[in-house]
Amino acid sequence: MTELIVHSIPQRLKALYTLIRILPVLSWSITSSLVGLGCAYTIDNKIRWLDFGLILLLVVLIHGVLSHALNDREDWLSGTDQFSPGILSGGSGVVARKQYSLETLSFIWKAALVVVCITALYFIWSVGVAILILLGLAFWSTISYSCPPLRLSYHPLTGEWLCGFPAVFACTVGTCYVLTHKIPGIVLIAGAIHALLAIGLLMHHHLSDISSDLKSTPRKLTTVAWVAITLGMKKTFLVELVYFLLALLTGVAGALFFHPVFWITLPVALGCMGVALNTVPEDILSITTHEYLLYGLIIGDAITKTALLFKWPG
């Protein structure tokens, strides 16, 4: 068991920032809410900015604090984070650096849950009980991804399709619903595209951890780890390639049937596919460098779409 050595307020804030892992939260949750905001603007240009601010608070607490505290704790106990050679992967590192103990992580996720529930009560009052469906998806994804007995991230395909995709999709759709009380077709397509891009990024992120995941107890058999032991490490790029291709096809469908803004998905998805093809899966530095490129492409895609939807809502 690790001892907590963080004492001062600045140290505690730094440890909390490290736990949140801003790049994953930005590329998954914050940008998915941003896309939902852009879709909401196509329906009603009178945005309730307080509500959007509270949505951002919710997604940071659920993804950055609650989910990551649970994930760091469970992956440390299983052993995968202790052996990970990754630079951007292997959890936030707050336990390894003794910034937080496992007990403190438990306290943090419980405290985050309290704040999330209080904020959720406001949305139930202002939006209605239907918001509980979207919040339920968020809680399901957060808990079932890492925690026993399900540990869906420890099995091929289940982590991304039963947790990752629903979480990002619900975040995009939920943002639009809270702001407009409507769920238009454009936000369903936008949510699906962003979720597919995010899952492709997640598969790339898992590359660094394959060796440690296969040593953990229970064994963490992510989709890329399964491909590595069945087809070989050099074929792992196929997993993220499939997700980026699905995002591209969904983007084309969205552009043809919903809004021309989705044509932006085409160069972004092609860029992501190029990154996947040029990554050396046995080289941690190559994985890390190319992961930064994926973050830039996916975050840029969301920001550009949102900006254009504000300028060109029709």
> How much is the mean pLDDT over the chain?
93
**Half-sphere CA count of 235, side-chain side, radius 13 A:** 9
For the chain, the helix, strand and coil percentages under 3-state DSSP, each to the nearest 5:
75, 0, 25
CATH of domain 10-311: 1.10.600
Q: What is the 3-state secondary structure (H, E, C) of 78-93?
A: HCHHHHCCCCCCCCCC
**Strand residues in the chain grouped as ranges (E):** none
What is the model's pLDDT at position 96? 87
CA 243 to chain centre: 14
Determine the length of the chain: 314
What is the model's pLDDT at position 2? 45
Residue 141: partners with Cβ closer than 8 Å, 6 or more residues away: 67, 162, 163, 164, 166, 167, 170
Contact (CB, 8 A) for 70 and 143: yes
- Per-residue pLDDT tens over the stretch 228-262: 999 999 999 999 999 999 999 999 999 999 999 99
218: number of Cβ within 10 Å: 12
- Range in 3-7, 54-58, 60-64 the model is least confident about: 3-7
Q: What is the pTM of this model?
A: 0.94
- Range in 2-11, 83-92, 249-258, 297-306 the model is least confident about: 2-11
CA–CA dist 136, 266 (Å, integer): 32
- Per-residue pLDDT tens over the stretch 159-195: 999 999 999 999 999 999 999 999 999 999 999 999 9
Highest mean pLDDT range out of 40-44, 69-73, 266-270? Answer: 266-270
